[in-house]
Amino acid sequence: MIDWPLAELLPHAGDMILIDRIVSFDDEQIHTHATVKPSGLFNRDDGALPAWVGIELMAQSVAAFAGCHARRRGDAVELGFLLGTRKFECNVDCFPVGAELSIHGVRSLEDDNGMGVFECHINAPGIHATARLNVFRPPQAAHYLHEPSATGTPP
């Protein structure tokens, strides 16, 4: 298990951090864990987590992968973007309260411009979800977040 605080590895804060811990990572993959809690931001009235939130669990695992690598290099954690997903499939409608979800992401492509593709899986007893995530981690992500001024020129 990795002892680095998730808040230092993810560009998320507070209740938006949906994964609980990083189990392991290496040059090409990451394993994370999440327990479905009954009162999260995305939970249904019965406490279950809709299966589509699995995409965010996968994306946060990929962000943690990037954060772990940045920390290992001594670099700052940078903002990244989930561009989209392909082939999301899940055999359940929701993840029940208390489900212990194992999330696995494997990098299948990453170029020097920050574009990447990760094959991701979520597994738990009776639960299996898969997706391919397209991500982008630009060299200077802060530039993408600036709003243009009223004159149309960047600030």
What share of the chain has pLDDT > 90, as a percent? 64
Confidence of residue 12 (pLDDT cuts 50, 70, 90): confident
pLDDT for the residue numbered 33: 97
The Cα–Cα gap between 119 and 72 comes to 22
- For residue 35 the two structure tokens come to 């327990």
| Domain boundaries, given as residue ranges, for the chain | 6-140
At 57 the three-state DSSP class reads helix
* The one-letter amino acid at 53: V
State yes or no: pLDDT of 63 exceeds 70. Answer: yes
Block residue for tokens 């406490």: 47
Mean pLDDT of the chain: 89
**What superfamily would CATH give domain 6-140?**
Hotdog Thioesterase (3.10.129.10)
Residue 101: its H or E element: strand 100-110
pTM, two decimal places: 0.88
